[in-house]
């Protein structure tokens, strides 16, 4: 059997299937197309790639100034890839159930690319927080501003702060000239009539039906901002809310498939269960939906200035499903192994996964940059108990095999039940709303597994699908050769918090995070606080890169000397190198902030790295709320891969194109022969 990667334009499918004929898994397989606006994952999976794609998108208006033109290109890109909806929440505070309707900022996922790939929606504050790493990659300093009924956003350009609101959609000029400087929030507070001209013909406040008034015809949203939004004397300044840490990468193992769908009906149909929608981060029957949206409208009239269009795109969500059926006799399980007792054996007689002596355990991993979704038990809220269809295993078991799940990289374990016969075991409630989990099997000499199929369903933003263009579409494939370790410290108890911590500064107290306690660590004096963690690659591999972020306390007004630094050591703590250094802005009014960074550690050729968080609150009590830690490890040369594209166009419906990528190929490109009107 060979590997298979299937891609369908509009309803993108990615699947890999490999058995004993395949020599290895495929690390970080990605594709992009030459579509001008929706190129797909490979174009957006790193901040550098995303910014490059956005800045090379054709057809944007020009001011003649390269800095302002850069702002406009990023502005358009964000409008076309992100829409306004209640912000998704994840399991950040122990004991607190995610509920987007609560709009709890401590439960919101502020990881930039993870948010973009899993959801692609959020309220104004989330949008303008998670865009921070994109803009900083483009060398544009960024901050959020609070106004009446909204959190808007500014970037620093040409010596001044200018508004770039990618939620309600607004970049405002200081005069009715295409070369005018852009207005900032303070400019609009001083003169809201700056909202009237639109010399560049930009999409601005184009949400809601058009109404007329003394100022002419505009959207309802425009009139809200004109009459209320900027009617204030001062606006708060908030820095450093968003970050980037979770890599957009995954390993597709031998015997595994990954199938993605841009439309919510694709996955239920694939599973033979029409209407069984799966999602996360939204409460409401049928899943996430937004009428007023620019997503998917890049070539449509919606990106014309109002009142020509109203951005009425009716955007929904997509899905993906990982399905893994390893050949246990062939050792395919080793593609995901984290730990296994010495007695674990793979055999050709039943049971094929068993112990050579007594009982033995084997631990396997799952990681996805996409959030695990679920079918809600009440049809509306996937966070309620009794959700299903998000993760399940169908075994071929011999005897009874205990099956456990960990969602904190092994710091603690929960029994999911016993595997018996061919009875499916659904463990959705244990992993929904997460990105990673470990599974542990306990087998004996006469009890074990002859096989299993593991399925995990995820939410996928419709805006990151590689879209085929008309008249032939060039596809670029790349296998990055990396896998991901997610090792976010679990601050729900002292024991789980210490699972990967190797040292601290000695002046810290720990209190478990909860609804009533939102900082896990605080200093006992007014000196710097440090926490050091180990990050370990799977056995037999080495770390190639590390990614980290920390949310720490920030006093208002900001005291002199305050900072947060991220440091790493590849020699067991003998020396540390700083890879992120953040100093709060003097006018920052946010009571906390994220520091984030990445480092290439491939040259050290080590399997373990220490990561240290150091924060100083300028002579006041320092605190750490959250820490995010990720490592990328090397994988073997990729096995053979088959890429299949399917699409409808003017030539015919249900067209397909197949490309076989030979084993060992890390990159290639080819042309899919689309006709006109490809969808």
324, 454: one domain: yes
CA distance 103 to 123: 9
Domain CATH number, residue 456: 2.60.120
For residue 29, being part of any structural domain is answered with: no
Domain CATH number, residue 191: 3.10.620
353, 234: one domain: no
Contact of 167 with 75, CB cutoff 8 Å: no
Chain centroid to Cα 5, Å, comes to 21
310, 335: one domain: no
310, 328: one domain: no
For residue 35, being part of any structural domain is answered with: no
For residue 408, being part of any structural domain is answered with: yes
For residue 176, being part of any structural domain is answered with: yes
Q: Give the Å distances, CA to CA, from 208 to 292, 309, 416, 595.
A: 7, 10, 47, 37
Which of 199-203, 487-491, 627-631 is predicted least confidently? 199-203
From the list 520, 395, 510, 388, the residue with the least C-alpha distance to 454 is 395
Average pLDDT, the chain: 93
Chain centroid to Cα 101, Å, comes to 21
Q: What is the pLDDT of residues 537-553, one digit of tens each?
A: 999 999 999 999 999 99
Tell me, what's the pLDDT at 313?
86
Tell me, what's the pLDDT at 647?
83
From the list 95, 89, 71, the residue with the least C-alpha distance to 125 is 89
385, 433: one domain: yes
The residue with tokens 């901050």 is 143
Global confidence as pTM: 0.96
Tell me, what's the pLDDT at 9?
37
Is the pLDDT reported for residue 623 higher than 90? yes
Domain CATH number, residue 583: 2.60.120.260
Residue where a domain stops, chosen among 446, 462, 478: 462
For residue 654, being part of any structural domain is answered with: no
Tell me, what's the pLDDT at 466?
87
540, 432: one domain: no
CA distance 344 to 339: 10
CA distance 127 to 47: 16
Q: What is the pLDDT of residues 424-460, one digit of tens each?
A: 999 999 999 999 999 999 999 999 999 999 999 999 9
Tell me, what's the pLDDT at 222?
93
Q: What is the pLDDT of residues 91-128, one digit of tens each?
A: 999 999 999 999 999 999 899 999 999 999 999 999 99
For residue 443, being part of any structural domain is answered with: yes
What dihedral do alpha carbons 298, 300, 302, 305 form, nearest 10°? Answer: 90
Tell me, what's the pLDDT at 308?
67
Q: Where residue 5 falls among pLDDT bands split at 50, 70, 90?
A: very low
Tell me, what's the pLDDT at 649?
85
199, 325: one domain: no
Tell me, what's the pLDDT at 365?
98
Residue where a domain stops, chosen among 291, 314, 337: 314
Other Cβ atoms less than 10 A from the Cβ of 19: the count is 16
Q: Where residue 676 falls among pLDDT bands split at 50, 70, 90?
A: confident
Contact of 158 with 65, CB cutoff 8 Å: yes
436, 354: one domain: yes
For residue 614, being part of any structural domain is answered with: yes
Is the pLDDT reported for residue 2 higher than 50? no
Q: What is the pLDDT of residues 293-312, one digit of tens each?
A: 999 877 665 666 766 667 88
Three-state DSSP at 332 gives: helix
DSSP type of residue 159? T
Which of 51-55, 317-321, 419-423, 597-601 is predicted least confidently? 317-321
Taking residues 470-487, report their average pLDDT. 96
439, 494: one domain: no
348, 370: one domain: yes
Number of domains in the chain: 3
Tell me, what's the pLDDT at 209?
85
Other Cβ atoms less than 10 A from the Cβ of 282: the count is 25
The terminus-to-terminus CA distance of the chain in angstroms comes to: 30
CA distance 120 to 84: 9
For residue 299, being part of any structural domain is answered with: no
Taking residues 462-474, report their average pLDDT. 91
> Which domain, by its residues, includes 545?
487-634
Q: How long is the chain?
A: 679
Q: Where residue 467 falls among pLDDT bands split at 50, 70, 90?
A: confident
- Which residues face 284 on adjacent strands? none
Taking residues 152-168, report their average pLDDT. 97
Tell me, what's the pLDDT at 167?
95
100, 141: one domain: yes
Q: Residue 125 is inside which H or E element, if any?
A: helix 124-130
Which of 10-14, 214-218, 252-256, 463-467 is predicted least confidently? 10-14
571, 428: one domain: no
Is the pLDDT reported for residue 638 higher than 60? yes
Counting Cα atoms < 13 Å in the Cβ hemisphere of 165 gives 32
Is the pLDDT reported for residue 14 higher than 90? no
Q: Residue 185 is inside which H or E element, if any?
A: helix 185-190
């Amino acid at each position: 059997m060979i590997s298979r990667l299937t891609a369908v334009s509009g309803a993108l499918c990615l699947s890999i299937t490999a058995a004993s004929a395949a020599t290895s898994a495929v690390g970080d397989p990605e594709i992009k197309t030459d579509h001008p606006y929706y190129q797909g994952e490979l174009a957006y999976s790193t901040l550098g790639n995303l910014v490059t794609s956005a800045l090379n998108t054709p057809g944007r208006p020009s001011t003649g100034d390269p800095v302002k033109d850069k702002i406009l290109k990023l502005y358009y890109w964000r409008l076309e890839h992100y829409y306004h909806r209640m912000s998704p929440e994840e399991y950040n505070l122990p004991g607190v159930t995610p509920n987007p309707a609560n709009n709890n900022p401590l439960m919101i996922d502020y990881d930039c690319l993870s948010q973009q790939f899993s959801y692609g929606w959020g309220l104004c504050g989330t949008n303008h927080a998670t865009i921070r790493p994109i803009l900083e990659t483009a060398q544009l300093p960024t901050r959020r501003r609070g106004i009446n009924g909204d959190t808007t956003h500014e970037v620093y350009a040409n010596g001044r702060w200018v508004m770039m609101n990618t939620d309600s959609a607004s970049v405002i000029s200081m005069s009715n000239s295409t070369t005018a400087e852009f207005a900032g929030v303070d400019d609009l507070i001083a003169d809201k009539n700056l909202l009237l001209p639109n010399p560049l013909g930009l999409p601005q406040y184009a949400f809601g039906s058009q109404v007329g008034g003394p100022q002419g015809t505009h959207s309802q949203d425009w009139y809200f901002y004109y009459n209320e939004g900027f009617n204030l004397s001062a606006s708060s300044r908030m820095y450093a809310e968003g970050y980037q840490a979770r890599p957009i990468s995954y390993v597709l193992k031998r015997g595994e498939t990954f199938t993605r769908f841009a439309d919510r009906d694709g996955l239920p149909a694939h599973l033979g269960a029409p209407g069984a929608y799966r999602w996360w981060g939204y409460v409401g029957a049928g899943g996430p939906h937004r009428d007023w949206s620019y997503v998917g409208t890049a070539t449509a009239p919606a990106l014309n200035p109002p009142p020509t269009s109203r951005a009425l795109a009716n955007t929904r969500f997509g899905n993906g499903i990982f399905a893994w059926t390893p050949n246990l006799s062939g050792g395919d399980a080793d593609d995901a192994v984290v730990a296994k007792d010495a007695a674990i054996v793979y055999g050709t007689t039943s049971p094929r996964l068993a112990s050579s002596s007594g009982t033995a355990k084997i631990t396997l991993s799952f990681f996805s940059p996409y959030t695990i979704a679920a079918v809600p038990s009440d049809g509306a809220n996937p966070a309620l108990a009794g959700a299903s269809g998000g993760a399940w295993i169908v075994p071929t078991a011999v005897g009874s095999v205990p099956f456990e799940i960990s969602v904190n990289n092994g710091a603690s374990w929960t029994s999911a039940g016993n595997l018996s016969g061919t009875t499916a075991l659904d463990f959705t409630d244990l992993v929904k709303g997460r990105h990673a989990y470990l599974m542990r099997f306990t087998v004996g000499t006469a009890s074990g597994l002859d096989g299993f199929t593991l399925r995990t369903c995820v939410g996928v933003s419709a805006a990151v699908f590689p879209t085929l263009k008309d008249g032939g579409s060039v596809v670029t494939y790349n296998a990055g050769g990396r896998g991901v370790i997610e090792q976010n410290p679990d601050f729900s108890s002292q024991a789980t918090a210490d699972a990967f911590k190797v040292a601290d500064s000695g002046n810290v107290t720990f209190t478990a995070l909860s609804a009533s306690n939102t900082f896990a660590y605080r200093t006992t004096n007014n000196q710097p606080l440090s926490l050091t963690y180990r990050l370990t690659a799977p056995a037999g591999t080495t770390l190639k890169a590390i990614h980290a972020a920390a949310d720490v306390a920030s006093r208002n007004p900001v005291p002199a000397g305050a900072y947060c630094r991220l440091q790493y050591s590849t020699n067991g703590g003998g020396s540390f190198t700083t890879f992120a250094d953040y100093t709060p802005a003097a006018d920052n009014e946010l009571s906390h902030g994220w520091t984030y960074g990445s480092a290439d550690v491939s040259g050290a050729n080590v399997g373990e790295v220490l990561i240290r968080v150091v924060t100083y609150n300028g002579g006041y009590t320092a605190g750490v709320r959250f820490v995010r830690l990720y490592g990328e490890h090397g994988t073997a040369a990729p096995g053979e891969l088959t890429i299949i594209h399917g699409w409808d166009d003017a030539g015919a419906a249900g067209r397909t194109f197949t490309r076989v990528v030979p084993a060992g190929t890390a990159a290639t490109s080819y042309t899919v022969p689309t006709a006109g009107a490809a969808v």
